């Protein structure tokens, strides 16, 4: 019973060490939301911001299937505008021209790495294949 | 009361008539006479321009096709093949003597009975309603069954990362990665915006004729009506829709 102090002390030290990341997170400021500039001149995305924030990947996959599987290339958005369904042509080429300051910034923050860019290259010189008509 | 045989026949008969009428009406209402896209190549014009690569360059540039020097890793959508290899014909001496030793342009035949489609386990490759046999790069798992099934060698597998071999500047068409199969898509992305296939547009000899094979008034049908045409290995039953006018 003489070692009780040592045992409890060591136990406390280990407990603090193991839970250290959690303490640190509590102590530090809440993570800053990424600064996502809206494209200059654009007034609205193809759907409300809340929808896009939560479901843009689903919409993109729907676009992909419409274009590639069904051969349909235009989309009528929630404001009645006719948009060419194209990832690098419309989303990047005609709207969010600087992908690094929008898509990438948020994806880095959220820890997602879409593989789309492996194929959908965004060459600076040839961006506008479609765009909002 | 049990319905008699007469009642049964009347009900069954009118149901059959109604469903037949619905099918007929459906076809009429949709008003779409399906196109069957195809290509004809005037081989004499093509071989006359010896060494011409206009169609190949235009296609490969438009689709970001890599120029990989190692033939084992080569990716090609359209290329030249020695005549004897591309179009083995019976009675070659009498029919095609003038063409022997020359190269002809070959690419995917967009077959009516495509073996690549039959073997694809993920339906990543399929024939569209207009006959274009195309590949969904998103769905391709790189099993290469289609490469083995195609008797024309029209399909290329990306053994290495193709992008370092794509000449710049890049075109807007998405590039590909290692591990997917690709081939000629009859420029479906250009057809969608009312343009001709890139090869047809680029051919200085106007040797390539593109059109709707179901429309008797189309240029391609008129050419095929006038001249003798052969197809690549018709004996295999793949029903190729690229015609070689010799």
Percent of chain B with pLDDT over 70: 86
pLDDT at A91 over 60: yes
Say what the pLDDT of residue A18 is. Answer: 93
Say what the pLDDT of residue B39 is. Answer: 97
CB A70 within 8 A of CB A111: no
Say what the pLDDT of residue A132 is. Answer: 31
In a shared domain, residues B122 and B195: yes
pLDDT at B23 over 60: no
Which chain B residues touch A118 with a CB distance below 8 Å? 177
In a shared domain, residues B121 and B173: yes
- Does residue A132 form part of some domain? no
Whole-angstrom Cα Rg for chain A: 24
Choose between B170 and A29: higher pLDDT.
B170
B185-220 pLDDT, tens per residue?
999 999 999 999 999 999 999 999 999 999 999 999
How large is the average pLDDT for residues B30-58?
Answer: 87
- Does residue A86 form part of some domain? yes
How large is the average pLDDT for residues A38-53?
Answer: 89
Beta-sheet pairing, B242-245 with B37-42 = parallel
Which chain A residues touch B177 with a CB distance below 8 Å? 118-119
Distance from CA of A30 to the nearest CA of B (A): 38
Percent of chain A with pLDDT over 90: 54
CB B104 within 8 A of CB B115: no
In a shared domain, residues B220 and B188: yes
CB B178 within 8 A of CB B159: yes
Which chain B residues touch A60 with a CB distance below 8 Å? none
The CA–CA distances, whole Å, from B56 to A96, B34, B78 equal 34, 29, 6
Omega prior to A9 cis, within 30 of 0: no
A102-132 pLDDT, tens per residue?
999 999 999 999 999 999 987 554 444 433 3
How large is the average pLDDT for residues B170-193?
Answer: 95
DSSP label at B206?
A: -
Structural domain range at position A77: 49-126
CB B180 within 8 A of CB A121: no
The whole-angstrom separation of Cα B125 and Cα B117 is 6
pLDDT at B130 over 70: yes
Structural domain range at position B182: 37-245
The whole-angstrom separation of Cα B237 and Cα B146 is 16
How large is the average pLDDT for residues A10-30?
Answer: 87
In a shared domain, residues B8 and B87: no
In a shared domain, residues B97 and B10: no
In a shared domain, residues B74 and B19: no
Whether the predicted model's global pTM rises above the 0.90 cut = no
Say what the pLDDT of residue A27 is. Answer: 80
Chain B interface test: which of A57, A61, A65, A69 (most B C-beta within 10 Å): A69
Strand partners, B171: none
Say what the pLDDT of residue A127 is. Answer: 40
In a shared domain, residues B16 and B48: no
Say what the pLDDT of residue B31 is. Answer: 47
Distance from CA of A118 to the nearest CA of B (A): 6
- Does residue A11 form part of some domain? no
How large is the average pLDDT for residues A82-98?
Answer: 90
Which chain B residues touch A120 with a CB distance below 8 Å? 174-175
Q: Could A71 and B188 be called an inter-chain contact, meaning their C-beta atoms sit closer than 8 Å?
A: yes
Place of tokens 């990362």: B161
How large is the average pLDDT for residues A37-56?
Answer: 90
pLDDT at B6 over 70: no
Q: E-assigned strands of chain A?
A: 74-76, 82-84
Among residues B79, B74, B96, the alpha carbon closest in space to that of B229 is found at B96
Q: Which band of pLDDT confidence, cut at 50, 70 and 90, is reported for residue B50? A: confident
In a shared domain, residues B181 and B195: yes
Among residues B125, B80, B123, B84, the alpha carbon closest in space to that of B104 is found at B80
Sequence-distant (≥ 6) Cβ neighbours of residue B158 within 8 angstroms = B75, B142, B176, B177, B178, B179, B180, B181, B182
pLDDT at B104 over 80: yes
Averaged pLDDT score across all residues of chain A = 86
Tell me which of A28-32, A124-128, B45-49, B102-106 is least confident: A124-128
CB B233 within 8 A of CB B152: yes
The whole-angstrom separation of Cα B110 and Cα B43 is 18
Sequence-distant (≥ 6) Cβ neighbours of residue B34 within 8 angstroms = B129, B130, B214
In chain B, how many domains are there? 2
Dihedral sign for Cα atoms in the order B121, B125, B127, B133: negative
Tell me which of A24-38, A57-71, B171-185 is least confident: A24-38
- Does residue A20 form part of some domain? no
Q: Could B138 and A129 be called an inter-chain contact, meaning their C-beta atoms sit closer than 8 Å?
A: no
In chain A, how many domains are there? 1
How many CB atoms are located within 10 Å of the residue B175 CB?
Answer: 22
- Does residue A38 form part of some domain? no
Kindly provide the ipTM of the predicted complex, given to two decimals: 0.80
In a shared domain, residues B6 and B70: no
């Amino acid at each position: 019973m003489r070692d009780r102090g040592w045992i409890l002390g060591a136990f406390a030290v280990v407990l603090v060490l193991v839970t250290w990341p959690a303490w640190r997170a509590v102590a530090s400021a809440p993570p800053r939301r990424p600064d996502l500039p809206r494209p200059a001149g654009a007034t609205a995305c193809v759907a409300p911001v809340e929808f896009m924030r939560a479901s843009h990947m689903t919409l993109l996959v729907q676009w992909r299937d419409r274009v590639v599987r069904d051969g349909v290339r235009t989309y009528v958005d929630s404001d009645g505008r006719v948009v060419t369904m194209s990832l690098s042509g419309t989303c990047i080429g005609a709207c969010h021209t600087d992908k690094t300051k929008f898509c990438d910034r948020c994806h880095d923050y959220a820890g997602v790495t879409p593989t789309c860019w492996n194929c959908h290259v965004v060459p600076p010189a040839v961006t506008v294949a479609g765009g909002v008509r | 009361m049990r319905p008699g045989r007469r009642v049964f026949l009347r009900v069954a008969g009118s149901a059959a008539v109604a469903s037949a009428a619905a099918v007929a009406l459906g076809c009429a209402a949709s008003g779409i006479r399906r196109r069957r896209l195809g290509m004809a190549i005037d081989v004499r014009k093509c071989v006359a321009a010896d060494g011409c690569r206009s169609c190949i360059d235009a296609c490969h540039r438009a689709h970001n096709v890599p120029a990989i020097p190692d033939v084992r890793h080569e990716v090609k959508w359209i290329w030249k093949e020695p005549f004897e290899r591309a179009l083995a014909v019976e009675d070659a001496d009498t029919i095609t003597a003038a063409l022997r030793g020359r190269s002809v342009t070959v690419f995917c035949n967009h077959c009516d009975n495509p073996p690549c489609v039959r073997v694809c386990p993920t339906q990543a490759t399929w024939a569209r309603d207009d006959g274009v046999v195309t590949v969904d790069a998103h769905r391709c798992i790189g099993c290469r069954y289609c490469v083995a099934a195609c008797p024309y060698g029209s399909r290329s597998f990306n053994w290495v990362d193709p992008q370092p071999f794509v000449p710049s500047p890049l075109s807007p068409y998405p590039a590909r990665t290692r591990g997917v199969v690709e081939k000629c898509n009859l420029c479906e992305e250009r057809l969608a915006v009312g343009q001709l296939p890139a090869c047809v547009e680029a051919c200085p000899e106007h040797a390539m004729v593109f059109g709707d094979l179901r429309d008797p008034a189309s240029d391609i049908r008129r050419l095929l009506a006038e001249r003798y045409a052969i197809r690549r290995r018709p004996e295999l039953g793949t029903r190729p829709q690229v015609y070689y006018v010799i």
